[in-house]
Amino acid sequence: MTLLERVRGFAIRHDLWRPPTLGIVALSGGSDSVALLLLLHEFATHGEVVLDAAAHLNHSIRGRDADEDEAFCGELCARLMVPFVASRIDVPAKASLERVSLEVAARRARHAFLEQVRESRAADFVATAHTEDDQAETVLLRIVRGAGTRGLAGILPRRRHLIRPLLACSRDELRAYLTSRDQTWREDETNQDVTNPRNRVRHDLLPYLARHFNPSVRASLARLAEVARGDEIAIGPLVEAASADIVRVSTEEVSLDAAALNALPEGLARRVIQNALTRIRPDRICNLRDVDLVLAVAKGGPTAAEFSGLRVERFDDSAVLVKRARNLRPRRRGAGTRVPRR
């Protein structure tokens, strides 16, 4: 099966586009995104999708190299007759203004730019060139940092308007595809600073695992992500149905019917609690320890627990979650009064 056929299969399986769908390609000039552009261009030639434009953001981080990247992308698009939209932003200035790392500032700027291009052109999606390698890094990083099975789903094939058609392709395959078509790309001065956890995973941990345990470890991790995502989809309707029975939301609090919660299989009970935590704190990703604390209180272990800005307390047949008001803390000891765990 050719790379083109595999990407097509992936797109069909995840319903990423259908004939009249209008798409934007995020193009950095690196091998992954150049391959993405060429592949989508091929699909467009076959009438499977409409390639509306390629969008390039110059981050003003790498000086002349960045300008050359932009010129390279512009020329490539001109040759393919794909409209080219470029913009420039001073990421270092943005980072120091927002007091975040260059990496975070760059990601935010990129997302905002891509979404703006998509909206202004009324396109249906922005395709980004995340590969199996990126997926493996994400999943592995989450595993070693302590994710639940939910986190293992990793980078999703689609999140709102963002699609990732190359999630099942390795970087090596993409480069082989480009080479076979005599297509060059810009070598990103890959960040080799291994004090950054993702770089350490990429340059150190994954090569070590491939050498000593499993040469296809990246593919195995990407596959695990897909299975975990499948499990999420399978279990989702169950969680929704149970949550509808068990979780009550008011303006002040979220309460859980303890008896009904305790009657559930524990895996399901955990998901219902995750749901409840998301209702009271939509902006945060659930921590498994928080979920366990709520479960312990619902089961009649400690009568109350406090964690990450929330308080959970057992009242009669309910476990009630409230946001913790600063002035309600009785005593402040260390980072806050906590009911000891375990």
How many chain residues are in contact with a second copy, going by CB under 8 A?
50
Contact in structure between 53 and 82 (CB atoms under 8 Å): yes
Between 175 and 299, CB nearer to a second copy: 299
**Which one of residues 1, 81, 122, 325 is an interface residue with a second copy (CB under 8 A)?**
1
**Which one of residues 4, 178, 235, 339 is an interface residue with a second copy (CB under 8 A)?**
235
Pairing of strands 162-163, 247-249: unpaired
Between 93 and 144, CB nearer to a second copy: 144
**Which one of residues 55, 162, 163, 224 is an interface residue with a second copy (CB under 8 A)?**
224
By CB under 8 A, is residue 228 in contact with a second copy?
yes
By CB under 8 A, is residue 298 in contact with a second copy?
no
Strand, helix or coil for residue 161: coil
CA-to-CA distance for 31 and 186, rounded, in angstroms?
7
Amino acid at 193: D
Chain centroid, CA 14 distance in Å: 16
**Which one of residues 79, 99, 212, 326 is an interface residue with a second copy (CB under 8 A)?**
212
By CB under 8 A, is residue 169 in contact with a second copy?
no
Task: Give the contact letters, 9-28, x = binds to a second copy (CB under 8 A), - = no.
Answer: x-------------------
* Nearest Cα to Cα of residue 270 among 281, 278, 261: 261
By CB under 8 A, is residue 203 in contact with a second copy?
no
CA-to-CA distance for 287 and 328, rounded, in angstroms?
23
Task: Give the contact letters, 255-284, x = binds to a second copy (CB under 8 A), - = no.
Answer: ---------xxxxx-xx-------------
Q: In the chain, what is the straight-line distance between the N-terminal and C-terminal CA atoms, in Å?
A: 53
By CB under 8 A, is residue 197 in contact with a second copy?
yes
Stretch that binds a second copy, among 67-75, 76-84, 208-216, 312-320 (CB under 8 A): 208-216
CA-to-CA distance for 183 and 176, rounded, in angstroms?
10
Instruction: For residue 50, list its beta bridge partners.
Output: 22
Pairing of strands 247-249, 253-257: antiparallel
Question: How many angstroms separate the Cα of 69 from the Cα of each of 9, 30, 220, 291?
Answer: 31, 8, 33, 46
**Which one of residues 42, 65, 90, 231 is an interface residue with a second copy (CB under 8 A)?**
231
Instruction: For residue 305, list its beta bridge partners.
Output: 312
Q: How far is the CB of 12 from a second copy (least distance, A)?
A: 10
**Tokens, residue 95:** 């980072």
Between 74 and 148, CB nearer to a second copy: 148
Strand, helix or coil for residue 28: coil
**Which one of residues 111, 148, 279, 324 is an interface residue with a second copy (CB under 8 A)?**
148
By CB under 8 A, is residue 244 in contact with a second copy?
no
Chain centroid, CA 272 distance in Å: 22
Q: Phi first, then psi: what are they for 86, rounded to 5°?
A: -125, 150
By CB under 8 A, is residue 293 in contact with a second copy?
no
Q: How far is the CB of 270 from a second copy (least distance, A)?
A: 6
Within residues 56-95, the interface with a second copy by CB under 8 A covers none
Chain residues binding a second copy by CB under 8 A are 1, 6, 9, 141, 143-149, 152, 197, 200, 205, 208-209, 212-214, 216-217, 219-221, 223-224, 227-238, 264-268, 270-271, 288, 340-342
